[in-house]
Amino acid sequence: MYSDGVGFPRLTPTPNFAALLQEPFALRPFSSLDVIHSVLIANRGEIALRIVRAVRDLGLRAITVYSEADKLAPHVLLADEAYEIGPPPASESYLCVDRLIEVARVAQADAVHPGYGFLAERADFAQAVESAGIIFIGPMPETIAAMGDKTEARKRMAAAGVPIVPGAIEAVSSASEALRASEELGFPVLLKAVSGGGGKGMRVVERPEELERSFTAATREAEGAFGDGRIYVESYVDRPRHVEVQILGDNYGNLVHLGERECSIQRRHQKLIEEAPSPLLTAQERSVIGEVALTAARAVDYRGAGTVEFLYQGDNYYFLEMNTRLQVEHPVTELITGIDLVEWQLRVASGEPLGFSQGDITLTGHAIECRITAEDPLAGFLPSTGTISHLEVPAGLGVRWDGGVLEGLEVSRHYDPLLGKLITHGSDRLSAVVRMARALDELEVVGVKTSAFFHRRVMEETDFLAGNLSVAYLDEHPDVLLPRASEDDLVIAAAAAALMEDYHRRRHRSPRFNRGNAGNQMSAWRASK
- Identify the three-state secondary structure at position 440: helix
219, 313, 475 from 187: Cα distances, Å: 19, 18, 21
- CA-CA-CA-CA dihedral for 516, 521, 522, 525, to nearest 10: 50
Contact of 178 with 172, CB cutoff 8 Å: yes
Of the residues 61, 267, 325, 457, only one is catalytic, namely: 325
How far is residue 404's CA from residue 52's CA, in Å, rounded to a whole number?
11
Contact of 200 with 221, CB cutoff 8 Å: yes
Helix 150-160 and helix 283-298, axial crossing angle in degrees, nearest 10: 110
Q: Where are the alpha helices (DSSP H) in 71-167?
A: 74-77, 97-106, 123-131, 141-148, 150-160
Contact of 76 with 66, CB cutoff 8 Å: yes
- Sign of the alpha-carbon torsion through 195, 200, 205, 210: negative
Contact of 226 with 245, CB cutoff 8 Å: no
**CB under 8 Å, gap of 24 or more: what pairs does 262-266 form?**
262/469, 263/309, 263/329, 264/469, 264/470, 264/471, 264/473, 265/458, 265/464, 265/469, 265/473, 265/474, 266/242, 266/471, 266/473, 266/474
How far is residue 289's CA from residue 277's CA, in Å, rounded to a whole number?
12
Contact of 61 with 39, CB cutoff 8 Å: yes
DSSP, residue by residue, 228-248: ---EEEEE---S-EEEEEEEE
- Identify the three-state secondary structure at position 418: strand
**CB under 8 Å, gap of 24 or more: what pairs does 279-287 form?**
279/429, 279/467, 279/469, 280/241, 280/467, 280/469, 281/243, 286/259, 286/260
Contact of 313 with 241, CB cutoff 8 Å: yes
Instruction: Assess whether 325 carries a catalytic annotation.
Output: yes
How far is residue 50's CA from residue 398's CA, in Å, rounded to a whole number?
18
How far is residue 358's CA from residue 242's CA, in Å, rounded to a whole number?
23
Contact of 354 with 247, CB cutoff 8 Å: no
Q: Active-site residues: which are they? A: 325
